[in-house]
């Protein structure tokens, strides 16, 4: 009898121990997320919701290895592509305080000298109606003056701009011509303004395209990024590992460029050029840290210049993505604006899509600049949210409904999307 009682007691103690362990694990996970956190538009009542798949390795560790101690797979973010929500963007540009924030969003056009009121939307397919990727498209005047250039994305789409850096109200559309893959189009050019339904210029071409991809990370490494940079570094290396598994036939190259500011910092830019050795990029990223800065604006313009001058982007027949992670705007100076006005269209011309990732500290003028940069290069806007409880306060983006995702999953989704 005593033996039986001892066995029963052992079982009861084991059950109690397991229950206590489970409760402590639940408290630990809830504590990491800051409990029930009301972030931006993606409020989640379940504190574990933003970690869906985390403990199965879908959002944590290098390439989804399920390492629970990793700092990857914890930052949350949203995504909004203004080119796909033209009515929403048009209202922000034409109706003061359209986002109900009390901010006159349209005033930032003059502030940054960036105007999107004359959009030339182009769609390129072959004779079978299949979208053609990485086709060069140029908008010119009747006297062959170049207005804007770009390259089609995986949907066969590209957007060109009239007066992107110098506002133009009156457009003589009869003088405009499109040159698609070197061939001038005969059809009249349709221009879409703010508040108008998007008018697509349908063009024909046939090219051979691959899913080879260049992925660069351009990262603000000043002191204000210190609250998030360690998590962002882990996410970046995790993304590189996951990207390598997306398409076995694609040649994937990665690069990284970290930048600070011009006055007194240890460096302005540090560059690790494109390489098919993905572990080399991961090691470079892991060795960086946040420091310096001081004032709010940073050397964004130099980072973008360096991204063109020192990174060896493939010139054709490929996909090119530049993820720009930052929490501060460029300096508001005439030489800086002149640089940006020249550099951003050059990214578009080369088919390099600048995808901003806005961290804590971003204000409304900076949000406008980043979204305009994404628009000008046929990209999308990504913004970190408060849902994870990581980093400082993140402003509510002036966007419509969006889904809260883990940042690394979101960026991998975008990479996969552009490779389709």
User: CATH class for domain 76-82+210-419?
Assistant: alpha beta
CA-CA-CA-CA torsion sign (241, 242, 247, 252) = negative
What's the pLDDT score for residue 100? Answer: 67
Q: Where in the chain is the domain with CATH 2.60.40?
A: 114-204
What's the pLDDT score for residue 296? Answer: 80
Q: Which residues pair with 258 in a beta bridge?
A: 219, 270
What's the pLDDT score for residue 104? Answer: 87
Counting as low any pLDDT under 70, the low residues of the chain are: 1-71, 98-100, 293-294
> For 133-184, where are the E strands, in sequence order?
136-141, 146-151, 157-161, 176-180, 183-184
Residues, the chain: 420
What's the pLDDT score for residue 44? Answer: 29
What's the pLDDT score for residue 10? Answer: 46
Nearest alpha carbon to residue 255 among 269, 267, 266, 245: 269
Q: What is the CATH number of domain 114-204?
A: 2.60.40
pTM metric for this prediction: 0.83
Q: What share of the chain is helix, strand, coil (3-state, %, to 5)?
A: 35, 20, 45
Question: For 313-342, how does the pLDDT look when each residue is reduced to its tens digit (9 = 90+)?
Answer: 999 889 999 999 999 999 999 999 999 999
Q: Is 148 in a helix, a strand, or coil?
A: strand
Q: Where in the chain is the domain with CATH 3.40.50.410?
A: 76-82+210-419
Please tell me the number of Cα atoms within 13 Å of 326 on its side-chain side.
34
């Amino acid at each position: 009898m005593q033996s039986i009682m001892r066995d029963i007691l052992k079982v009861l103690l084991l059950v109690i121990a397991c229950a206590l362990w489970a409760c402590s694990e639940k408290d630990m996970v809830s504590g990491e997320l800051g409990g029930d956190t009301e972030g931006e538009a993606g409020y989640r009542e379940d504190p574990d919701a933003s970690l869906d798949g985390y403990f199965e390795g879908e959002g944590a560790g290098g390439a989804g290895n399920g390492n629970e101690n990793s700092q990857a797979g914890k930052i949350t973010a949203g995504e909004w592509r203004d080119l796909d929500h033209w009515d929403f963007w048009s209202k922000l540009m034409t109706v003061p305080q359209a986002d109900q924030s009390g901010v006159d969003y349209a005033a930032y056009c003059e502030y940054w000298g960036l105007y999107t009121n004359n959009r030339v939307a182009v769609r390129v397919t072959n004779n079978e109606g299949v979208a053609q990727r990485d086709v060069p498209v140029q908008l010119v005047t009747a006297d062959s003056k170049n207005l804007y250039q770009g390259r089609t994305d995986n949907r066969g789409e590209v957007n060109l701009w009239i007066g992107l850096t110098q506002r133009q109200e009156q457009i003589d559309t009869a003088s405009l011509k499109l040159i698609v893959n070197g061939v001038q189009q005969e059809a009249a050019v349709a221009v879409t303004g703010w508040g108008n339904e998007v008018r697509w210029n349908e063009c024909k071409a046939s090219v051979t395209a691959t899913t080879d991809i260049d992925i660069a990370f351009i990262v603000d490494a000043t002191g204000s990024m210190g609250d998030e940079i360690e998590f962002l570094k882990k996410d970046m290396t995790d993304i590189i590992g996951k990207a390598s598994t997306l398409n076995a036939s694609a040649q994937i190259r990665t690069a990284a460029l970290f930048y600070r500011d011009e006055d007194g910092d240890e460096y302005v830019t540090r560059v690790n050029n494109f390489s098919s050795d993905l572990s080399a990029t991961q090691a470079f990223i892991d060795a960086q840290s946040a420091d310096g800065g001081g004032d709010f604006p940073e050397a964004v313009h130099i980072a973008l210049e360096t991204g063109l001058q020192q990174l060896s982007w493939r010139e054709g027949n490929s996909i090119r993505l530049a993820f720009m992670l930052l929490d501060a705007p460029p300096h508001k100076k005439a030489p800086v604006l002149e640089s940006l006005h020249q550099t951003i269209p050059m990214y578009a011309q080369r088919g390099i899509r600048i995808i901003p990732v806005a961290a804590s500290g971003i204000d409304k003028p900076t949000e406008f600049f980043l979204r305009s940069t994404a628009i000008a290069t046929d990209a999308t806007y990504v913004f970190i949210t408060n849902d994870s409880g990581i980093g400082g306060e993140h402003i509510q983006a002036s966007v419509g409904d969006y889904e809260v995702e883990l940042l690394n999953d979101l960026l991998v989704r975008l990479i996969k999307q552009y490779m389709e």
